[in-house]
Amino acid sequence: FAATTTINSTGTITLYTSTSNPTVIEKIGFANRTDIGDFPISIKITNGTSTSYLAKNLIIPRYSTVDILDRHKRIETGAKIEVEAGSTGTVDVIISGKKITS
């Protein structure tokens, strides 16, 4: 799968939920597509009551892209990838991965 999402809220937004089987996340990238400032972003994996931050308050400089995974990350069935941004409509999130089917 692959998904690109524009952040339209400064609250927590669910970008992806692993259903039926675990998922291997291959890439998580951010793109700040404006010249109005550098913005913080946090991305986390939530599974039930457990939360693991992959990046917390990471500053994405204006007109830049940042990739945060140096290797694949497995998330279990029911886990969610969530994002919190310091500004709306400025940072895009790019996620790609593969659903485990067997």
**Coil vs helix vs strand at 101:** coil
Output the six-digit token pair for 8.
Answer: 């339209």
Q: Are 45 and 51 in contact (CB under 8 A)?
A: yes
Q: Which residues of the chain are modeled with pLDDT < 50?
A: none
> What is residue 90's predicted lDDT score, i.e. its pLDDT?
85
> What is residue 7's predicted lDDT score, i.e. its pLDDT?
75
Q: Are 10 and 97 in contact (CB under 8 A)?
A: no
> What is residue 1's predicted lDDT score, i.e. its pLDDT?
61
